[in-house]
Structure 1
């Protein structure tokens, strides 16, 4: 198995891409530190890992709080002694609306989780990986980090920031044995994307333009998990600073 006995941390692991990737990493031999704000869904993911014979622990954390990020890093080190893979994945979607109607609290919520959470994860995990002289980090950006999405100005800005953090961090650590890449999903069948339709129905607001799902379907979370697992492994040994589109042609 590609990741036999490697230690992986996955944030936002309670659902969607985070859950699918946690299970896939474990099936490839990794021991997984499952991190989520939601205790119930996070523990469900851990149970699914153990049901297939995998190993891991669960840590409840708010990724926007430095002390919580330090908590999941400490848990990984105290339990397993190192961190080989970090899937810096936790994120939220904004309430879809015109820019002028986005209130300050919504802006702060999106940027706190999507940008500060990714930054804090990088900050704390990189210190460990630098000491080891090795590691692979995968950040979750979005197609909205490559091009803007209509009526999602703050979300688009947050994911552009994730792309920028990925490129800058990869440049800093390119000679230190640490690879840092980002995936850009575009339309994945998760609770997060399901909430978009609910927003349209609840708010009565539909953007002038909607994403063009060129393949005629959303991706399954497991399809993104395949890319995460590849980037985590030595098969991607010459990849760093890469912003990888997994979008079914959405950005074409």
Structure 2
């Protein structure tokens, strides 16, 4: 039996089809949770759902762009109708964009990164909160980034939205701490995933960022970030609220 308080809990994980999201969904499944797997890729979502069931969990899938309000509504409805409510929300889905420096960021790239990496977590948090308030408890964990702790870990758009996501985390934590709802974030450094960065290696930002990443240490594994996410969602973190936890092998301490 789970000692984390997550057994039979209703959990939403966005971007759960691969990388940190996949590892997180499987860790929740190992605790006996019921997981809504939200991802843009249908085949990936179904593969993870099968893996969750094999690990002893229960899974439901929602396929679509989490930056779309209709998909957000579908994710929340699925959790409530399939699993009776929402105990945990993990806003993990994200893109890096073209990793451009400020003068090189296009309107389209700026707006897309903000929509997926910041607006989508806000929309899903706003939609999930009434269900958590109804229960008088809940845990929200946002996947921020080392880029949200410094100005040198990625391109401008990604860096800006991860700073914004940390602001969303802290504001929500303060606003709802007396309502039984905790909101925290993890800030991964370099993690070995299949996230694709569509960038021009000859552009300014990559050449600048590479020099700073020399201090980043070894690449982390997706499951290491997932372990921190599940911890923050669990009863073991019952008095932890508004924290941004680096998962970066000490990069943020350099």
TM-score category by the smaller chain?
A: over 0.9
User: Normalization by structure 1: what TM-score?
Assistant: 0.93
| 1:123 aligned partner | 126
Contact 2:99 2:158 in 1 (8 A): no
User: 1: CA distance between counterparts of 2:14 and 2:75?
Assistant: 9
SS of 2:179's equivalent in the other structure is: coil
C-alpha distance after superposition, 1:63-109 (max 9, x if no partner): 11212101110011111111111111111002122221111000011
> Residues 168 and 151 of structure 1: is their aligned pair in 2 closer, same or farther, counting only changes over 3 Å?
closer
Contact 1:213 1:248 in 2 (8 A): no
* Aligned pair partner of 1:60 in 40, 59, 63: 63
User: 2: CA distance between counterparts of 1:183 and 1:113?
Assistant: 17
User: 2: CA distance between counterparts of 1:145 and 1:11?
Assistant: 19
| 1:176 aligned partner | 179
Q: CA RMSD in A?
A: 1.5
How many residues align? The count is 247
> Residues 151 and 48 of structure 1: is their aligned pair in 2 closer, same or farther, counting only changes over 3 Å?
closer
Ranges of 4+ aligned residues in structure 1 off by more than 6 Å: none
SS of 1:5's equivalent in the other structure is: coil
User: 2: CA distance between counterparts of 1:116 and 1:209?
Assistant: 25
User: 1: CA distance between counterparts of 2:179 and 2:153?
Assistant: 39
Residue segments in structure 1 that go unaligned for 5+ positions in a row: none
| 2:251 aligned partner | 250
Name whichever of 53-62 and 204-213 sits farther off. 204-213
| 1:212 aligned partner | 213
What is the deviation of 1:213?
Answer: 5.7
User: Normalization by structure 2: what TM-score?
Assistant: 0.93
